[in-house]
Structure 1
C-alpha cells in the first residue's frame, strides 16, 4: 500500500510538471508559434557536418502556425531595431543630397523644410508603430493598405515600393564605387564587385546578420554626425587655427538665406522628403522582431528625436559654414566632392578629416545598400503572401530567409556594371538609372500617405466594430488627428513635386524633367486600374473590415510577458535606455 501511494504521488507530480510545461509552450506558441515548434529541420542531428548543415539550411522552413503563415524568424531584438530605425534615414540624402538642396533653396529653406518633413515623419511613424505592434505580420504597411484602404491600392503600393528599393540597390553600388574616387581613380567595376559580394554574403547569413551589420554601420554614422556637429561649432566660433576665415558666426547664412524664391523652397521640400526615405523600414522588420510590444514602441519614440537632432542641428551648422553659391554643391550628386559635410571640413583646412568623413559617407552608402536588399526582398515576399506576386517568392528556408525573393533582388545588383558603359563621353548608365528612378520617384509619398490613411481607417473601423483602445498594446498619442496631419503633409509633398517637375529650378518646362519627376504617378495609376479590372471586389464597409487576422491584442502580449519575466535592469541601463 505504501509503495502504491508513493507511486501515485510521483505520477501526480509528473503530470503536474508536464501540465506546466505544456501551458508554457502553449502560451509561447500563441505569440510566436514558428519559434516554439520543434522539428527535424530546426534541430538537425548531432552528427550533421558543416557542409551538410550548410546545404540543409536552404531546405524549406517547417510548417508554421504564425498568424501570417510564413516562415520568417524573429531574430531582431531591441538594439537592432533602434539602429535600423535611425540608420535607415541617415545616409546619402543627408550627407550628399543636402548639398544640392542648399544650392537650390538656401540655408533657411534647408533647415525649415527638413524640420517640416521631420514633423510629418513624427506623425507617420507613430501611426505605423501602433499598427505594427497590433499586426506584426509579413508585408507590413503594404498589407495594411491592402486590408484597410483597397486591395487594388495595396497592389499598386507594394509594387511601387518594391521597384523603388529594387532599383536603388545597383544605383547605390555605383555610388559606393564613385565615392572611392575621392582618393584614387580606380576602375569602378572593381569596387562594385567587392561591395556586391559583401552584400550577398550579409544577406545569405540571415536576418540576424543584417541586424548586426546595420547596428554597427548605424552606430558609426551616429558617432560621426555628433562629432561633425561639435567640430562645426568649433569652426564657426573661429577655434580652428588652420581656418583663415577666423570667427564666422552668422555672416554666411545671412547671405542668400532663401534662393530661387518659392520654386527653390519647393525643390528643397521635395529633396528633404526623399532624404527621410527608409525610416518606415521598421514596419517591414516588425515581422522579424523578437518582441514587438517592447521593441517597436521604443524605436518609434526615439527615432523622431534622433533624426530631428541629427538633421536639424547638422544642417544648421552646414548653413553657417558653406555658402549656397559654392559651385561645387551643384556638381555630380553621386560624387563626394559635392558633400557639404566634406566641403565644410576642407574649407577649414583640417588635414586628414575630409578623408575620415568620406569614409563615413561610404559606410552610409553601404548601409543604404544593405537596407535596400533587405527591404526589396521582404516586400516581394510580403506581396507573395497577398498573392500579388508569384507564389515561388513565398519560399523561406529553415533559417527564415525568403530565398527566391532575396536572390532576385541580389541578382539585379549586377545591373550596376552598366556603369562601365560610360565611355568616350557616353552617359548611357546615367540615362538608364534616371529613368529607372523615375518609375518610383514618388513611392515614399505614396507609402507614407498610405500609412496615415490606413491608420485613420483602422481606428474608425476598430471603434465601429465595438473595440476600445485598451485592447491595443501600443497607442499613438496623436491618434487619428496626427495621421490626418501626416496625410495632409504628404499631399503637399506631391503638389510640391508636381510644381517642381513642371517648372524645374534653373530651367524651363520640358517633358523630360516632368516625366522624370512624376512618371511614378502614372505607373501607380496603371497598377491600380489594372488590378481593379482584374479583381472587381468592392471595398467592404467599415463594420466588415478584417481586424482579426494577425491581430495581437494587449492581453495577447500580457499572457506572453507573464511566462517570460524580464530580468531587473540596473539603474545605469535604465538611464541609457531612456536617453538612447
Structure 2
C-alpha cells in the first residue's frame, strides 16, 4: 500500500502538483541534468551487486515449492506474483524516484549505506516539503526489514538442515523437534543476526559494505546455479525416458529461459569483475576496493575446493544425463487430482480481480 501510494505521489510531484514543492514541473529534467547514468558504462556495471542484493529472495519461491501441497496450482500463481510485483513495485517505483530525485543529491551521496534515513524514497519525499510523510515511509522500511528477516530465517534454516542431511554440514544441524523446527539452525541464524549491531560501531559502514558485497554477489552464483541445474535436470529427465507431462510444474519459459538467465548472470559477474578491478573514476587497481565488491567469488570457489578436499575428490566433476539420480527425494503426485484442482482457463471478465490478486 505504501509503495502504491508513493507511485501516485511521485507522479503528482513530477507533474508539479505539490504546492510545497517549489521546483514545479520536473518531467525528465533530472534524467538530463545531472543525468540518469553517472560514469557511463562503468557506473552502470558498478551497481550490479547492489541491485542483486535488492532483488535477492525471489528464488525462495523454489525453496518453498518443496513443501507445496499442490505445486501445479500454487507455483504458477507464486511465480507470476513475484514477476509482477518486481515489475510494478521495484521497477516502476525506482523509475519514478529517478525522475523526482537528482542523482547528485548530497544527502544521498554522503549517507551511510546502512542508514534508513538516507533511503532514496525518503529523500525524494523530503525534497517536496511534505511534513510527516518521511517518518511514515521510514516506518514502512522498518516493517519491510522485519519481513525480510522472516523469510531469510525460513531460507537459511532450511538450507543448513538440508546440508546436514546430505552430510555437507555438522550432524547436529539435522535435529528437528516435534513441531518440525530445526532448532539448532534457528539458533545459529539468530546468532548471525546480532551482526546488525555492528552498524552502531564507528566502522559500521565499512563492515556493512563487506557484508553487502558478500551477499550481493552471492546471488549471481545462486541464480546461475539454479539456471544451470534446471538445464541439466531437463537433460537428465529426457535422457532417462521421462516426458514433460510427468512434471507437476513446468517453468514458463522452459530451458530457453534458463539459458538466457545463465547468460545474463555470467555477463553480470564478468562486468562486476571489470569494475572491481578498474573502479569508477579512473582510480588504479586496489586490492581493498576489489574485494569490497568481489568478495563472494573467492569465497564460493574456496568453499567448493574445500568440499572436494574434504570428500577426497570422490565422485566425478560432471555427471552425465543418463546417470543422474532423479528419484531420491522424489515426491509422487496424482496428476489427475492436480489437474482437477488447477485453476481453470482465465476469462477477460475477471482480469481486474486477477490483477489485484497478482500484485497484493
TM over 0.5: yes
| Aligned with residue 281 of structure 1, among 54, 60, 73 | 60
1:324 aligns with 2:100: no
Deviation at 1:396, TM superposition (A): 1.2
Map of 1:449 onto structure 2: 224
Deviation at 1:441, TM superposition (A): 4.4
| Aligned with residue 78 of structure 2, among 278, 287, 299 | 299
| Aligned with residue 261 of structure 1, among 28, 40, 49 | 40
2:49·2:213 contact (CA, 8 Å) conserved in 1? no
Inter-CA distance 268–513: structure 2 relative to 1 (3 Å threshold)? same
1:388 aligns with 2:168: yes
Map of 1:237 onto structure 2: 15
Deviation at 1:274, TM superposition (A): 2.3
Inter-CA distance 481–366: structure 2 relative to 1 (3 Å threshold)? same
Query: Matched residues in 2 for 1:449 and 1:339: separation?
Result: 29
1:270·1:496 contact (CA, 8 Å) conserved in 2? no
Deviation at 1:244, TM superposition (A): 1.1
| Aligned with residue 466 of structure 1, among 241, 244, 248 | 241
Map of 1:355 onto structure 2: 135
Per-residue CA deviations over 1:385-410 (Å, capped at 9, x if unaligned) read: 21111121111112211111111111
1:398 aligns with 2:174: no
- Where does structure 1 lack aligned partners over 5 or more consecutive residues? 1-222
Matches for 1:406-421 after TM superposition, within 5 Å: 406-420=186-200
Map of 1:367 onto structure 2: 147
Structure number with the bigger relative contact order (C-alpha 8 A, sep ≥ 6) is: 1
Query: Matched residues in 2 for 1:436 and 1:345: separation?
Result: 29
Deviation at 1:579, TM superposition (A): 4.2
Q: What is the RMSD of the two structures over their aligned residues, measured on CA atoms?
A: 2.4
2:114·2:205 contact (CA, 8 Å) conserved in 1? no
Deviation at 1:502, TM superposition (A): 1.2
Map of 2:353 onto structure 1: 576
Aligned residues: 347
| Aligned with residue 249 of structure 1, among 27, 32, 42 | 27
Matches for 1:539-550 after TM superposition, within 5 Å: 539-550=318-329
| Aligned with residue 90 of structure 2, among 298, 308, 311 | 311
Deviation at 1:533, TM superposition (A): 2.8
SS at match of 2:141: helix
SS at match of 2:103: coil
Matches for 1:62-461 after TM superposition, within 5 Å: 223-255=1-33, 256-330=35-109, 331-420=111-200, 422=201, 426-427=202-203, 429-461=204-236
2:224·2:261 contact (CA, 8 Å) conserved in 1? yes
2:13·2:128 contact (CA, 8 Å) conserved in 1? yes
Map of 1:519 onto structure 2: 295
Deviation at 1:558, TM superposition (A): 3.0
Per-residue CA deviations over 1:134-193 (Å, capped at 9, x if unaligned) read: xxxxxxxxxxxxxxxxxxxxxxxxxxxxxxxxxxxxxxxxxxxxxxxxxxxxxxxxxxxx
- For the pair shown, which has the larger CA radius of gyration, 1 or 2? 1
